[in-house]
Chains A and B, each alone.
Chain A
Amino acid sequence: MKGIDAFRELAPLLKNEPTVLANGYISREFFNVTDRKENFYMIGSMGLASAIGLGVALAQPERRILVFDGDGNVLMAMGTLAMIAACAPKNLIHIVIDNEVYESTGSQRTLSHEIRLEEVAKSAGYKQAMRVTRPEDIRPAYEQLYKEEGPVFLLIKVEPAFDSSQGRVTHTPEEIRDRFMASMAG
């Protein structure tokens, strides 16, 4: 499964959940699959998607909050898994697209071939953590986790297959902020 296949499975499952997308190919690829005002595309500050998602989840306890993260990001911010587990937001779903490489910088390997990140999340104290490797398993796993009390973690193993000819996010950072905040207003 390619990352884009995972995003094509996930996109139709989303409603109006505010979604924080990690920098690099995760933001770019999902932008090209489905651009929504609820998408907060990160273009820098690698490693912080999970912390930002936690902040949104605590500030908006009545909404389900999604984080689309990468394996390199999670490895960079493993302490944030502890913060999420300790704060225990019931409304947070942490989804990791794990391709085992830093793909946007030339596919240097991460450590996620050896380290099972969903087990790290579970050990940290996430209520539930699952791993899927086939596209047809994404929907049932997502729907099951959606019913659970958070924080929950879904790791999707993919192969490195980012098409770098795909466009970058065209919105300016301030536009991304304004759209995202407006999607939660009222």
Chain B
Amino acid sequence: MLSSKIFIGKLRDCGFNFFTGVPCSLLSGLIATLESDPDLGYIPSVREDAGVGLCAGAYLGGQQPVLLMQNSGLGYSLNAFTSLNLIYKIPVLVIMSWRGCGGKDAPEHLIMGDINEQLLETSRMEYAVLEEDNTDRVLADALKTINDERVPYTLLVKKGLFDERH
């Protein structure tokens, strides 16, 4: 299991300094860590697409944003990614929980869980599945994509990867 605190520290070391999201229980440890430090200024977004817009504005203003969401929010966010981020070339690091992965979850998560990777690929969204033993390499890839190609990069997070608080 990865420590939320250590992972947030790595994100900060990479230069990420603006955090928002819509919660998921799989990300509850990360969000609790962000909320425990007022300097990080975590902002609760009301919807995932509003979070995409917020992060885009923060990037334009010179910040390096991170958006946390459940994969159910990918549907809400697709138009924002395709008609804002991907055409203006505005990057954001997306940390997305992979509910429904492997077909074991509540019914509302099963379809999105099944098509999560295909949907990202179809939408031309760069992504990687975060694992305990690949965090440094994946973060390096994400940073390179964000800085060089200036497009969003998504980290898919399976259940149990991080310490959860719920």
| Residues of chain A having any CB pair with chain B under 8 Å | 18, 20, 40, 42-60, 77, 79-80, 82-83, 86-87, 173-174, 176-177, 180-181, 184
Contact = CB atoms under 8 A, between A and B. Distances in A.
B60 A181 contact: yes
A55 B54 contact: yes
Contacts, number: 114
A60 B54 CA distance: 13
Nearest to B90: A177
Contacts of B43: 58, 83, 87
Interface string B70-85: 0000000001101110
B89 A83 contact: no
**Chain B, interface size: which category?**
20 to 34
17 contacts: A20-B57, A45-B52, A46-B79, A48-B84, A49-B53, A51-B54, A51-B56, A52-B60, A54-B53, A55-B55, A55-B63, A59-B63, A80-B46, A177-B60, A177-B89, A181-B60, A184-B62
Contact of B88 (A53, A59, A177, A184): A177
A33 B55 CA distance: 29
Main secondary structure of the interface of A (DSSP, over half): helix
B89 A51 contact: no
Nearest to A53: B57
Given A48-B53, A77-B50, A59 B18 contact: yes
